[in-house]
Structure formats: structure tokens, C-alpha cells
Chains A and B, each alone.
Chain A
Amino acid sequence: MSGKDQKQNTDMGSIHPLNRVVSDIVKIFSDMGFEVATGTEIEDEQHNFDDLNVPKDHPARDMQDTFWLKDFPGHLMRTQTSGVQIHYMKENQAPLKIVAPGKVYRYEATDKTHEVQFHQIEGLVVGKGINLGHLKKALNTFVEKFYGEGVETRLRPGFFPFVEPGVELDMKKGDGDWIEMLGAGMVHPNVLKNCGLDPDEYTGFAFGIGLDRVAMLKYGIDDVRKFYDGDLRMINQF
């Protein structure tokens, strides 16, 4: 490398790898006609859990350990960006096609693969006659554009209270192992109802992608905590 090349390299700053992944994924879904939706990181119980068919005092809530806000009863740091979709559905009704990227929080001990904050992008399509085949197509298009061709995928049963059926998508490159990629499913009729939509008229699909995990897999980053310490020795590699 000559001195001149090196100078060019430092002229341009580096985007944080998580936001690169967000941009890439938003681009893929924008090309499929999705709109970006955003929302607040402090959310209320209603939008983070109740409207999403996660009942109070139910073991399903343990699947997402929560930071409850002191002195603000019923308020919490959102455990998922799904609340954004609830607000959007209530305000805009159907049909709709949105993706919601953002930071989310879970109360859990940190280690190489767990952090108290991480990033998600969730997608939601609601319209007449939306089915699981449409979900498969959308997810396979995402995987192919994001990871390149020659990646195999499979859907298998999963459980998230806000979808029914609930599925998980795994992917596999060549002879490698199946790797869990994301959770998805057909929007639960109760969720549609909670947002003022008639589940006999409308159906929809939803998916949620953990961006930290996706970035770790894509770039070979071994420790999720490295995303959050502001170390340019890592960030400037991208």
C-alpha cells in the first residue's frame, strides 16, 4: 500500500457496523416497498406487551426480561421494536408494509453473546389475503440479498405470542450447520383486533431480526459488547 492510498482510507470515516447492517437491510426492504417506521425507546406496557398478546403474569413475559422504569409505573425500556408497529397500525390501519429498526433493551447478564442493549429491525405487512407463502418469499429475498446467493433456508415452528403460526428461519451456507436467523410468523388475530383491525378481513406477517447477531455472523465479530465500547480499532475496520 502506498502512502497515498492510506491517506484516502483515513479521509472517509467509518459507519458503525450495526448501522451499516441497518442501512443494508432497510435498503433491501425499501426496494420491496416497505416504509420505515420509528418510535420511542421508553414504551408503556400496553404497547410493548398487552397489545402484543403477551398477558400479564404469564411465563411468556419471562422470555423478555424487562427494565421497568422507576417512578413511572407501567413504563419500561422497550424489549422489542414491535411497539412501533402497534402504534403504526392503530394510526394508519391497513394495508401497510413497514420496517422498524431500533435499539431495544433486555435485563440479562452480559457475556459474549448477551447485552442489555441491542438492535432489532422488525417488519410487518398487513393486507387482504396475506399468507405464509408471502412471508417465505420476503424472508428468502432478504437472505439472498443480504448474504448472497447459495444460502439455504428453512422455516421451523417457533413461539412468539404475537404471531400464529409462529416460525423461525434458519440458514445454512454450503456444508455448514443450520444457524438461527430470525423469528417471524402470521400476525396473531388478537394483535390485529387490539389495533382495531378485523382479523376476518385482514391477515399479515411479521418478522424480527436481531441485528447484533446478524452483524456478528456476517463479519465474524466474536463478542457483542465490542459494538458498544466506542473502540475505533474495531469500527474503523468497516
Chain B
Amino acid sequence: MVFSYNWIKEYLIGDVPDAQELVDLLTVHSFEIEGLEEKELSTGTKDWLIDIDVLPNRAHDALCHYGMAREVSTITGLELKEIKTEIPNELKPALIKINVKEDFCRRYIGREIKGVKVGESPKEIKEKLEAIGQRSINNIVDITNIVMFELNQPMHAFDTDKFDGDINVRFAKDGEKIITLDNNEVDLDASIPLIAGNSDPLAIAGVKGGKKAEVNSETVNIILESANFDPVLVRKTSNKTGIKTDSSKRFENEITSELAIKAIERATELIIKYASGDETEIYESVDVYSNPTEKEVIDLSVSKTNQLLGSELSIDEVSDILNKLYFSNEVVDDDLIKVEIPDERLDLKLQADLIEEVGRIYGYDKIEDQEIPDFEFEAKLNTEYGVNALVRKTLLEIGFSEVVTYSFVEEGDLRPEKPIAEDKKYLRKSLVSGMQKSLEMNQKNADWLGVDHIKIFEIGKVFSGEKGDYSEKMILGIGSVNKNGIKKPSAATFKKVAIEKLNEVFGNNFATKDNLENSEVIEIDLEEIYKNVDIKELFEKNNLNEGYPEPPTIKNNSYTNVSQYPFVLRDIAVWLPSETSSDDLVNIIKNNAGNLLVKEPRLFDEYQKEDKTSFAYRLVFQSYEKTLTDDEVNKIMDSINYEIDSKGWEIR
């Protein structure tokens, strides 16, 4: 959620750190910060927008500016202002009836206000809304939104002259419809919770208001709603209708019912301040609250706290941190503190939750690294991981490279309920299609790669089955193809060598059902190998005394991007006098080609005749910016040829 720095500051007394400093403090003690941006509002006021990632555990209390100010107070030690609401004493007795017919409504407070003056919001409200990216609608609607972003309590206002009867909280009937405030017609059914008049739906409870009782410039009389709804039902309703709002987000994360009363008083106060006149009449609120929330008390042991955090905090230090967090607490003896949990902190249920609070406010940086104590646990070798590692080592050593392809493919048995793409509808039941795509691509790039044979393998899971039964197997796929025009050795040879080599290393039968001569990719069921192998013996036999085999030495520590543009090939063959090194020739080629030569020139032919040697190189040209033309490459070749000529070497 985007927070306004100015708005947070309103609730704090003293010198609030600047926005950057505040963000740094929040990062190490409280929340992840997604962004910080200075913004000049349309009124000319400057503000900082802080995008704070409030996760579900803190959405109960900190998805609002007052909650965030409380957090800032905790981590800075600055005093937090109390929000005191002042409402005139002479309220009129309530006339409305509120009928809560279902349990999903945990609390419903309604208040009638007659004779409101609907109009534009004042600057201080507009600025707040603009800062956090909300549209100003009119003073009444804006006030309900301001209170939500201040206190975390979603609110709503209904125009009482636009519907008949009482407020009824009920489920919709099949076939009922509602037109939402943004003019969408939504079909309702008996699973959807509503706020309704005596006949018409007025709002989807906790999710979205309806057009029917919309507050607009003609509105004179309203009912303010401050309610609390079951989180799971709001979540389901929001998913079902596809409507996600700032209100539904707060309810589905759950907020305390205790907020409702604070919010309605606050909204009333703001309406008196910004939207009332001489004619305005405020009524007493009607509060339907059948199961009031009880105060939670959690016992916190200081020794347990230190045991889990690896800290050495004293009971006074712990109690002091709890005070900073505004958690009332009572030190019972030299280890135990009874902690009263603030209503809004629904995330705090266990001692461990409190220990986290103590730890993060104390500061994780103050906790010392400690060696893990020795305990009775001996790590065994894992057969699956070990076999895979040895298969990998064996194949790498005979020139196969490893690919990892997609588990989602076009065809198979099993599939996810919602596929991510048309061509990724199924779970693969074989590695073949993914590996074939890889072989095909690499065959086209054989010259770029500088190889005559493409040899790859993949170790991965495949999935099959139907009707109540599925199986998942680890498979080894081995694939090879030759570069176009290369006949010998045949591609099948490499697969044969691979199988022989694996059998030699494992002393096991690496069997494949696939035809070695005709299949580009052959598959081997590794589950069979796992069953038949004793991993310890296998490693001993292969002199792997240190444990799992390690990968070969890395060739490059950083990756060079591959151009997306096509490459162009040229061959060059030159007779060099025997006293001349081929490096001199390579240097000429490289100097003239510059960075358009993407690969080291590949020597593909070399032979000696009398006192001279012929070197033939294949050159791969490619640009990162465009498709190279023949002309451009020919010019480079001309300059290479010219320089070779001038050395007196003979080009073949």
C-alpha cells in the first residue's frame, strides 16, 4: 500500500526522521519497502509516497496511516498522538432498525445523519487522497475513505431517501441482481452476503456499494455504516464476483470488530466538521454486536525469548520493548510477563509471535552468530540426489551438456485446472518433446557453438496416469544430432557410448525401450536405478570418498548475452610459413572483425605441406543491434584478406 509521509507525520509528536531515514528504519524493523518517491501534489504541497509491503500478518493493524504511525512511534521512540473524537452530546434517539440475520456479520454499527451538506472536500482531505492515488468524489464519500485509510476500518454511506425500509444484513436470493457504484450489473446468488433495504440490495457486504443508495450531490440524509464481516466469506465473495476493493482486502485479511466504533465516531466528527450545516441532525448509533471480542493475554517467558532468539535480554529490556509496542504488560515474576494483546493485533496468538515482536524491535543485527550445537544426527547419502549427480558427472565427461526444459507441454495425461498457456496445457509424460526442441535449436546454431555434434541430456520428472491414479518418475533423457552435412560418427554413436559409459560406472543395466538408431532422444527410467543401487557402495566404487561428485570447473564466472539477430558465416584458409604462428593469423582476423566476430575463430582444418601449413578457420559474425548484411561482412573479409596479402601469405 502507498502511504503518505505527511499523513503519517500528523500523528507523531517530535522530529520525525526524513523519508529516506524512516524507510531504512522500517526496512530493518518492520516491513519491506517497495518504493519511495517524492511527489508534488496539484495543490503545490510536497509529499513523499512510501510504498510499503504490508503482508497478511500485519494487514490487521498496519494497512492504514494511524497503524503505520504507531509502528513508526515504536521504532523511533516518538510519541504517538491519540485520535480523540469529539461529537456533540445532544444526539437524537435512533430511529433506524438494523436487522442482522446472519452470523457472517460480526458487528454492524449504523448511524443516521440528516441534513448533510454534500459538496467538494476541503484541501486537507483532497491532498491525502491524491497522495495515495485515490480519487476525490464528494465530502461524504471521501470521509468514509479517509477513515478507512486512517484507521483500517472500511465504511460506507447510504442515501436513506433512495430506498425503503430498514437495514437488513442477509444473504442474496438466487436471481437477485445489484448494480455496483461503478455501474456493473452483478448476478447474485444465495452465497453472497448483502446489505439490503426491505427489498433492494444496497451493497455486497464488505466488498462494494450499490448504485441504488449512492451518495451524490442531491443527497441530504444518510446512514453511515461501520461493520465487520467474516474474512473467509468476504474472500470467497470477492473471488466469486471478481471484485477486489480496498474494503474487501481489509476484511479478508480480518480486522478487529473493536475498530468499528472508533471509526464511526471519527467519521461522524469529520462530517460535522466538513459536511454539516444548521439543519444537520446527528442520531445515536445502533450497534449490533452479539459476540464482543475478548481481550487476549499471552504469557511471555523471558528465558524462552532468549532461547529462541539467542539473545541475553533482561526482563526489564523485554518489558521496555513491549511498552514501545503499546502492549500493556505486567511483570509477574523474574521470568514471566503477562502481555495484553491490543485488539487490532490479530496476528499475535502464541508466545512465539510475541518473541518475534521483541526480536525485531530489539534488532536482529544485535543477535550474535552461533555455531550449531553438535547433536546426534548423521547425514546419510541420498540415493536420488547421488545417482543423479553421478549420471550427470558421467555424461558431462563424455561431452554431453545438460538442459532443463519445461514441465508443462502441449500433450500429456495430467494437467492443471488452469493452464498458463495453450502450448503448456499438460504435464509432460516424457522428456522427448522438450529435448527435441532444444536439439533442433542447437543444430541450427551448431556453427555458432562451434560443434559438429549436439549432445544433450536432461534429468527430470515426468507425470502420467488417469482416473484416480497418477505416477511421477525421474527420467534421464539423452539426445544427440549431428550438424547438417556431418555424417560420421553417426548421432546414434554418442547415445551408445553414453549407455556403455553409464553401465560401466554404475555396474547396472541402464536400459532404454527406445530405438538407439532412430530416436533423437532416448529415455531411461532412473527410478529403477534408485531401486537397485546401494549409493554408498556405488560412491566407494567410483572413488567418491568426499561425498557427492562436484561439477566440473566453471568456464566463465559471468554470462555474456547472446544476440537475437542471425549470425553470418565465413571460412578462410591461409598458407602460413612454418616459422609463423597461427596466432598471428588469428590476431589479424580478430583485429579487423572487431566485436562483430562473436566467437573465437574455430580451426576446422590444418595440414602441412613442405615448409608451410594451411590453417582453415570458420568465422561467426553477429551484431547485437541489427541483422548483418552480406556487404557488411564482405567488407570485413576484404580488409582481412588485404592485410594477409600484405604479409605475403597465400590465401587458398
Query: What 0/1 pattern do residues 443 to 470 of B give for CB contact below 8 A with A?
Result: 0010011110011101011010001101
Measured CA separation A9–B449 after assembly (Å): 12
Knowing A137-B370, A165-B356 touch, does A18 contact B404 (C-beta < 8 A)?
yes
Interface pair B385/A36, CB less than 8 Å apart: yes
Measured CA separation A95–B417 after assembly (Å): 39
Query: What 0/1 pattern do residues 7 to 37 of A give for CB contact below 8 A with B?
Result: 0011111111011100110110010111111
Measured CA separation A130–B560 after assembly (Å): 43
Interface pair A95/B556, CB less than 8 Å apart: no
Measured CA separation A154–B28 after assembly (Å): 8
Q: Which residue of A6, A26, A58, A130 is within 8 Å of B385 (Cβ)? A: A26
Interface band, chain A: 35 or more
Measured CA separation A23–B535 after assembly (Å): 17
Q: Which residue of B lies closest to A131 (CB)?
A: B310
Q: How far is the CB of A125 from chain B (nearest CB, A)?
A: 6
- Interface status of A129 (Cβ within 8 A of chain B): yes
Scan residues 103-160 of chain A and give those whose CB is less than 8 A from a CB of chain B. Answer: 103, 105, 107, 110, 116-117, 125, 127-134, 136-138, 140, 154-159
Interface pair A231/B307, CB less than 8 Å apart: no
Interface pair B455/A127, CB less than 8 Å apart: no
Residues of B within 8 A of A234 (CB): 559, 562
Interface pair A42/B463, CB less than 8 Å apart: yes
Knowing A10-B450, A59-B252, A117-B406 touch, does A237 contact B310 (C-beta < 8 A)?
no
- Interface status of A50 (Cβ within 8 A of chain B): no
Q: Which residue of B lies closest to A187 (CB)?
A: B352
Interface pair A40/B472, CB less than 8 Å apart: yes
Residues of B within 8 A of A140 (CB): 369
- Interface status of B399 (Cβ within 8 A of chain A): yes
Interface pair B559/A13, CB less than 8 Å apart: no
Residues of B within 8 A of A107 (CB): 416, 418, 420
Measured CA separation A203–B32 after assembly (Å): 26
Interface pair A230/B435, CB less than 8 Å apart: yes
Measured CA separation A233–B441 after assembly (Å): 10
Knowing A13-B395, A14-B396, A154-B365 touch, does A6 contact B600 (C-beta < 8 A)?
yes
Knowing A58-B56, A230-B434, A231-B562 touch, does A19 contact B379 (C-beta < 8 A)?
no
- Interface status of A3 (Cβ within 8 A of chain B): yes
- Interface status of A206 (Cβ within 8 A of chain B): no
Residues of B within 8 A of A136 (CB): 310, 364, 367-370
Query: What 0/1 pattern do residues 200 to 216 of A give for CB contact below 8 A with B?
Result: 00010000000000000
Scan residues 584-607 of chain B and give those whose CB is less than 8 A from a CB of chain A. Answer: 586, 600, 602-603, 606
Scan residues 33-70 of chain A and give those whose CB is less than 8 A from a CB of chain B. Answer: 33-38, 40-42, 57-60, 63, 67-70
Chain A residues at the B interface, C-beta cutoff of 8 Å: 1-3, 6, 9-16, 18-20, 23-24, 26-27, 30, 32-38, 40-42, 57-60, 63, 67-72, 75, 77, 95-97, 101, 103, 105, 107, 110, 116-117, 125, 127-134, 136-138, 140, 154-159, 161, 164-168, 180, 186, 188-190, 199, 203, 219-222, 227-238
Listed A/B pairs (5) with beta-carbon separation below 8 Å: A19-B551, A42-B472, A69-B416, A230-B435, A231-B442
The 4 closest A-B pairs by CB, nearest first: A230-B438, A133-B310, A165-B356, A131-B310
Chain B residues at the A interface, C-beta cutoff of 8 Å: 27-32, 55-59, 231-232, 235-236, 252-253, 307-311, 350, 352-353, 355-356, 359-360, 364-365, 367-373, 375-377, 379-382, 384-386, 389, 392, 395-408, 414-418, 420, 424, 427, 434-435, 437-439, 441-442, 445, 448-451, 454-456, 458, 460-461, 463, 467-468, 470, 472, 547-548, 550-552, 554-562, 582-583, 586, 600, 602-603, 606
